[in-house]
């Protein structure tokens, strides 16, 4: 069974939680005893690169020319300082890169392409170039994916013309931006060829052919350009792909693949397990991490170029405060296994299912239509405050970190499934080996950073007015942090279900 078309993706939040020394209560019951966390600033630590916020996915290439897209990009850049953005369809006919004249000779037009990449770079973000989809005049067949913008997923009718397109494309980028700049980009061959985004048959063998042609064409332009794949859904094909590249001496600079929290174990692992939404992503990451380690190329970087809590439009997931704890725990579990993870997506300027019809429909973006920040946006914003070293902490609900300036930062969360109400949990955090007397506490929960109650009180308008949009943006803002005194180095926190707390010692 194939994964449904990618017009659904999830969002994330953070809430700090403590080392559980007592038995957790059943869903819906009150916490009988507080959970105790010992946060020792002098405990062993290790590097903690912010792998979860280096890259984001987005709607297709042409959407990046819209002011709404660029406004959301700037807002997420300010919150996370992300470095790369990935999108589909740079070769879609609406971008206008490829045409053939009446005699079948290829011509190239880089006008819109230049505007797309210029706009990203002007806003401090580099492209993670997904090489897709097939220009219709180059396609062997007119095989259109069901996405609203109907990308062609056919193999090329002429492999030499495909090679020439890739060569011309890469040469143009190097000429326009310089090799030092473009060598810092990534070139990923296609998107999810193991499902309905690739119509070659048999899928794997014809994708190998596509990858081989593309990677060699890129490297002929300049060996410094970085190319990789297989960009598969459901963490598929990676071991076989590396074997193919190693055996045939095909260039490969990184591995990329995808998984979502609600993917099925049968599709990802070939088992009949029921893997919970909060466990699926990092279990798949670990699977691929181990495949790379056991491969002929064990040092390949792993780039998870799509992830989210859901590949469906599920408002109780991606539009909700659920994303805070889900994201925080995903970061905790995946740390050390992956180089980059790209949340799908940074904005709901997004049209895979058609034009957005209402602000809150379970879209994948951190920012809803109309520029309304969702809880997931605030989750990323809070987690950005974590330090760049992770301190050992024996807890499954907290992250303890240290910034380069010596500031200790703790994230604590109260995870519950999106269909469960959960219960508030109390935590007593004992900080050791710090001279701090105060703590700044930010919260993300139904009373902090969640716009939904304001939207419902407004009557859930399908098309909010400008005045209503401004009210919603104000209602979605995080409340200023609370300053709390540490008493004998201790801090007591109550964290609602689906809540996240970020604690910064002062």
Contacts of 163 (CB under 8 A, 6+ apart): 213, 216, 217
In the set 35, 53, 306, 314, the catalytic residue is: 306
Q: Is the distance from CB of 20 to CB of 396 less than 8 angstroms?
A: yes
In the set 35, 75, 130, 192, the catalytic residue is: 192
Q: How far apart are CA 491 and CA 482, in angstroms?
A: 12
SS3 369: coil
Query: What is the full DSSP assignment across 434-469?
Result: ----EEEEEEEBTTBS--HHHHHHTT--SS--HHHH
Whether 192 is a known active-site residue: answer: yes
Through-space distance between the first and last CA atoms of the chain, rounded to whole angstroms: 52
Task: Look at the chain and count its residues.
Answer: 506
Nearest to 203 by CA among 236, 239, 165: 236
Q: How far apart are CA 491 and CA 486, in angstroms?
A: 6
DSSP-assigned letter for residue 64: G
Whether 306 is a known active-site residue: answer: yes
Kindly report each contact of residues 263-267 with a partner whose C-beta sits within 8 Å and lies 24 or more positions away, as own/partner. 263/3, 263/233, 263/234, 263/311, 264/1, 266/1, 267/1, 267/3, 267/234
Question: Which positions are annotated as active-site residues?
Answer: 192, 306
């Amino acid at each position: 069974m194939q994964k449904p078309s990618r017009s659904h993706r999830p969002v994330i939040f953070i809430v700090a939680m403590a080392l559980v020394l007592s038995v957790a209560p059943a869903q819906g019951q009150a916490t009988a005893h507080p959970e105790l966390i010992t946060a020792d600033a002098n405990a062993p630590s290790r590097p903690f690169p912010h792998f979860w916020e280096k890259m984001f996915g987005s709607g297709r290439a042409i959407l990046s020319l819209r002011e709404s897209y660029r406004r959301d990009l700037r807002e997420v850049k300010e919150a996370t300082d992300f470095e790369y953005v990935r999108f589909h369809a740079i070769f879609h006919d609406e971008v206008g890169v490829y045409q053939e004249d009446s005699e079948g000779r290829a011509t190239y037009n880089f006008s819109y392409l230049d505007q797309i990449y210029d706009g990203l770079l002007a806003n401090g973000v580099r492209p993670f170039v997904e090489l897709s989809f097939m220009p219709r005049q180059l396609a062997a067949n007119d095989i259109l994916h069901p996405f609203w913008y109907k990308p062609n997923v056919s193999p090329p009718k002429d492999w030499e013309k495909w090679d020439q397109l890739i060569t011309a494309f890469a040469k143009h980028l190097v000429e326009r931006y310089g090799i030092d700049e473009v060598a810092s980009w990534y070139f990923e061959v296609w998107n999810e060829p193991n499902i309905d985004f690739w119509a070659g048959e048999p899928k794997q063998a014809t994708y190998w052919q596509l990858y081989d042609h593309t990677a060699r064409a890129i490297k002929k332009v300049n060996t410094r350009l970085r190319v990789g794949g297989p960009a598969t859904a459901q963490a598929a094909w990676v071991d076989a792909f590396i074997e193919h590249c190693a055996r045939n001496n095909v260039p490969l600079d990184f591995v990329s693949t995808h998984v979502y929290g609600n993917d099925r174990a049968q599709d990802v692992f070939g088992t009949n397990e029921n893997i919970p939404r909060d466990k699926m992503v990092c279990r798949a990451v670990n699977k691929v991490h181990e495949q790379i380690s056991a491969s002929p190329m064990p040092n390949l970087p792993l780039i998870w170029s799509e992830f989210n809590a859901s590949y469906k439009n599920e408002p109780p997931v991606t539009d909700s405060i659920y994303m805070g704890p889900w994201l925080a725990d995903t970061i905790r579990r995946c740390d050390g296994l992956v180089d980059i993870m790209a949340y799908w997506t940074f904005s709901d300027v997004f049209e895979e299912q058609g034009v957005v019809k209402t602000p809150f429909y379970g879209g994948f973006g951190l920012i809803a239509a109309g520029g309304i920040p969702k809880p997931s946006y605030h989750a990323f914003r809070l987690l950005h405050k974590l330090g760049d070293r992770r301190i050992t902490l024996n807890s499954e609900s907290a992250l303890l970190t240290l910034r380069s300036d010596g500031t200790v930062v703790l994230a604590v969360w109260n995870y519950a499934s999106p269909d469960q109400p959960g219960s508030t949990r109390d935590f007593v955090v004992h900080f050791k080996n710090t001279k701090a007397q105060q703590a700044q506490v930010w919260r993300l929960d139904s009373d902090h950073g969640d716009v939904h109650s304001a939207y419902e009180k407004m009557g859930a308008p399908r098309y909010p007015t400008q005045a209503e949009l401004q009210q919603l943006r104000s209602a979605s803002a995080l409340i200023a942090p609370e300053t709390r005194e540490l008493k004998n180095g201790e801090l007591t926190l109550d964290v609602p279900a689906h809540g996240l707390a970020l604690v910064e010692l002062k």
